[in-house]
A and B are shown apart, each in its own frame.
Chain A
């Protein structure tokens, strides 16, 4: 006999993700899910955000990594609230992992939570961790064809960061090809070009983060009546 099911396979994951988002809202924390290849500069981008937002907003970090805690040690040295999740063989963070981590992060002390996902451009995109927005990170060193190859990330992200622009003169990366590929996938997504190495463009990155949070507060005001 045939039994119709008609259910989303990831509905339980989505439910936990939505619950995480509620917890974050309750504590006035805006979360971002940072997705990029291994070595694209995810941790460097978080360090840059920390420096840009010093005195303006307090950042906490969840570090998803296959095994090591190197990135967390790096961030804690800077003075960030950072928490490590090791996914073992898992190629993405799951909402359940983030839920556990949330209970260990002093949410009342932070304004922004950046979740560094496991280095991967496909798997993390299907799992909503409780973030307000996804940040798609690519670096010059990876080549200019990433948007075409990984369309869902570039459809669902709120912003694209192009890191390591200091390397453009030394590679065959073509800005034209990159934008052409990206615009076919997502014609309106904002792009921030920057270099975590030289600091070029990181100001704009900080402003984007602050701007996003401010817009969100504005949008949420009437609903909450405050």
Chain B
């Protein structure tokens, strides 16, 4: 359900980027979402297209790349890639892990057409 707040923040950032870059339209918005965020992609897409619908980026497609959990053991350096959520080093049993990925909520890039904006208003 936090998908709505995420979408709200996302739309605002993309609209800002569109104004900054002078884009006339946006076709794709590509974001990364870490598995640990437990975001439901369909809900996020729905919220995004609903909220974007009232702005200059209406109709933009959202692409969500789900980023798996990856960590490194600070004790022995082993890399941990788990399908499941396990936060113990399989090599040495260490607990002190550096979480390398899995927590992203990140806009990677957008794709659009340059030109005069049709409507710069929200």
Contacts and interface: CB of A to CB of B under 8 A. Distances in A.
B93 to A, nearest CB: 9
A7 B87 contact: no
B108 interface: yes
Nearest to B95: A187
Contacts of A8: 105-107
Given A120-B1, A123-B1, A10 B108 contact: no
B2 A9 contact: no
B109 A188 contact: no
B105 A126 contact: yes
B1 A91 contact: yes
Contacts of A120: 1
A185 B85 CA distance: 7
B12 A4 contact: no
Given A4-B108, A151-B36, A188 B9 contact: no
A92 B87 contact: no
Interface in B61-118: 85-88, 95, 103, 105-114
A1 B109 CA distance: 10
Interface string A1-38: 11111111111110000000000000000000000000
A186 B85 CA distance: 10
B57 interface: no
Interface residues of B, number: 33
Contacts of B37: 126, 152
B85 A151 contact: yes
A187 B71 CA distance: 15
A2 B109 contact: yes
B13 interface: yes
A184 interface: yes
A111 B1 CA distance: 33
Nearest to B82: A184
30 contacts: A1-B114, A3-B17, A3-B110, A5-B14, A5-B109, A5-B110, A7-B13, A8-B105, A9-B9, A10-B9, A10-B105, A12-B13, A13-B9, A92-B5, A94-B5, A120-B1, A122-B38, A124-B2, A126-B6, A126-B37, A127-B5, A148-B85, A150-B38, A151-B85, A155-B36, A155-B87, A184-B85, A185-B86, A185-B87, A187-B95
Interface of B: 1-2, 4-6, 9-10, 12-14, 17, 21, 23, 31, 36-38, 85-88, 95, 103, 105-114
